[in-house]
Amino acid sequence: MSVVTRFAPSPTGFLHIGGARTALFNWLFARHHGGTYLLRVEDTDRKRSTDEAVQAIHDGLDWLGLGGDGQTVYQHQRAGRHAEVARELLASGGAYHCYCTPEELQEMRDRAKAEKRPLRYDGRWRDRDPADAPDGVPPVVRLKAPRDGETVIEDMVQGTVRVANEELDDFILLRADGTPTYMHSVVVDDHDMGVTHVIRGDDHLNNAFRQAQLFRAMSWDLPQFGHIPLIHGPDGAKMSKRHGALGVDAYRDMGVLPEALRNYLLRLGWAHGDDEIISDEQAIEWFSMDAVGRSPARFDMKKLENLNGHYLRESGDERLASEVAALLKGRDGLVLDDIGIARIKAGLPGLKARAKTLLELADNAAFYAATLPLSFTEKASKLLEGDAASILQAVLDVLPDTEAWSEESTEAAVKAYAEEAGVKLGSVAQPLRAALTGSTTSPGIFEVLAVLGPAESRARINAVCGSAT
RNA sequence: GGCCCCUUCGUCUAGCGGUCUAGGACGUCAGCCUCUCACGCUGAAAACACGGGUUCGAGUCCCGUAGGGGUCACCA
């Protein structure tokens, strides 16, 4: 039997980081087994679902390269089938109508809480004569869950987990308005879609018991469950929207590469020996659910950044140049014409090692596309005071001719000059750097000289000498 | 509160009874490289929550304790 997994987010907000990892694990598991990875939008609660959220989730997934195989299933469109299954259950005696009002249920919970009893529906309509039904109260449909014995889940991550059936109550399948609840739709859809492995967050472990009861009530085969531990925030608390959890779009906006995020997320709760940098091919080959840990992991931005820096350095210049150009577009004092972009691309080798995110990369690359007059950082301006102008003037004189201009030739010339003048290379290189880049930090100064070319380099140095005298 | 789950360096983790004086990575610190900043390289500090068992032998198995998390909706 071929493996079918699914990622089933509810469209009530962006695709958050925990959801992204759940999607990744489902994707990897399916790929590893040569199976299928499906996408299902859990939008049975129409009030809370928005089109924007659906779009945001698809965007996030596509950016991460974790779009589903085939068409996305929208759960609310299957309400008819869900109702049909509920009717079957009603007919077979596996479910019943309950006429409790929401107020009555709330009262039940309040009292249970006050008396320190478990908060469960007491099953008051379970065996009651339908003739007792009050007028004008639309009933919900509840599953007639077993009351004795226990329900056992053989979880791929958590192992054997069992709970006494008396701990579980008769949950609602169909609301009073006839629409299906999440608990019901999930089971029907997982069955109908042929899902063989349900991999999802640990917060669903408790639901698995109820869902297992429904599967059994319908005499359907249970899928294999795998409940992966949640991702916590840096403070150890649950990563929720109110607790600083960010959507994957936020990481994209920070300049994180999708492959870096994938690698990072993979290592959160899963390991393959001492391996840290793991390609998609290796991940697919190595991934298995029994290597998934059982304890929650904290999110660590520093490690993500480190990984991102690694993938940045591995990235091709073509791709990076266009990413940087897009990021720089519209900034003041920059021209992103062919020359500017060509310079950025040529400067990438030196730029890459100095950035952890695309944003940083763009910031560092901006000077290559800058127009005169350059803007200077405070430290750079300071470096240009004093005798900097005369030093730069002297450098201008020793710099090679246009035809001989290169990283090597400019380096040789400047070094020879420094030696002759009896000064350290740094006292020449730093003012030069300030003049050329407007900053005190940059890629190697001779690389900058070479990328900028003789005309632009001279113009930038001249601009400084002129203003300083 | 009931139920369920978890617990190795600050963080992510390796470890599947002896090879653990507990390994790797991020971060931190020191040094090297060096025109700046990075990258890279070298090194250092840093952990088996606690208490009982089982066993010739426990980070590894069992039971408690403590701490943390999850879940208890006509939300998903």
| A202-215 pLDDT tens trace | 999 999 999 999 99
Protein-covered nucleotides of chain B (CB closer than 7 Å) are 1-8, 10-15, 23-27, 34-40, 68-76
pLDDT of residue A386: 81
Look at residue A241 and tell me whether its pLDDT is greater than 60.
no
Residues 6+ away with beta carbon under 8 Å from A256: A304, A308, A357, A358
The residues near A43 (Cβ < 8 Å, ≥ 6 apart) are: A10, A11, A49, A54, A74, A75, A76
Catalytic: which of A113, A116, A241, A303?
A241
* Percent of residues, chain A, with pLDDT higher than 70: 97
Residue A308 and residue A297: Cα distance in Å, rounded? 19
Q: What is the ipTM of this complex?
A: 0.95
Q: Residue A167 CA to B2 C1' — how many Å?
A: 8
pLDDT of A332 reads 86
Nucleotide nearest to A183 (CA to C1'): B76
Higher pLDDT, A71 or A237: A71
A44: nearest nucleotide, CA–C1' criterion:
B76
CA atoms within 13 A on the CB side of A30: 24
pTM: 0.93
Query: Is A241 noted as a catalytic residue in this protein?
Result: yes
The amino acid present at A452, given as its one-letter code, is L
**Which of A256-260, A373-377, A433-437, A439-443 bottoms out in mean pLDDT, i.e. has the lowest?**
A373-377
The tokens of A385 are what?
């005071």
Mean pLDDT of all residues in A334-355: 94
Residue A307 is predicted with a pLDDT of 97
A179 CA to B59 C1' distance (Å): 51
- pLDDT, tens digit, for every residue of A146-196? 999 999 999 999 999 999 999 899 999 999 999 999 999 999 999 999 999
Between the CA of A18 and the C1' of B20, what is the distance in angstroms? 34
pLDDT of residue A129: 80
Nearest nt (C1') from A182 Cα:
B76
- At residue A468, the pLDDT reads 42
Q: For position A469, what pLDDT does the model report?
A: 42
Task: Give the model's pLDDT for residue A102.
Answer: 83
Which residue is closest to B75 in terms of CA–C1' distance?
A: A45
Give residue A384's pLDDT band: very low, low, confident or very high (50, 70, 90): confident
In which band, very low, low, confident or very high, does the pLDDT at A133 lie, cut at 50, 70 and 90?
Answer: confident
Q: pLDDT band at A245, cuts 50/70/90?
A: low
- CA atom of A276 to C1′ atom of B45, Å: 23
Higher local confidence (pLDDT), A302 or A467? A302
Q: Which nucleotide minimizes the distance between its C1' and the CA of A272?
A: B14
The pLDDT confidence band at residue A243, using thresholds 50, 70 and 90, is low
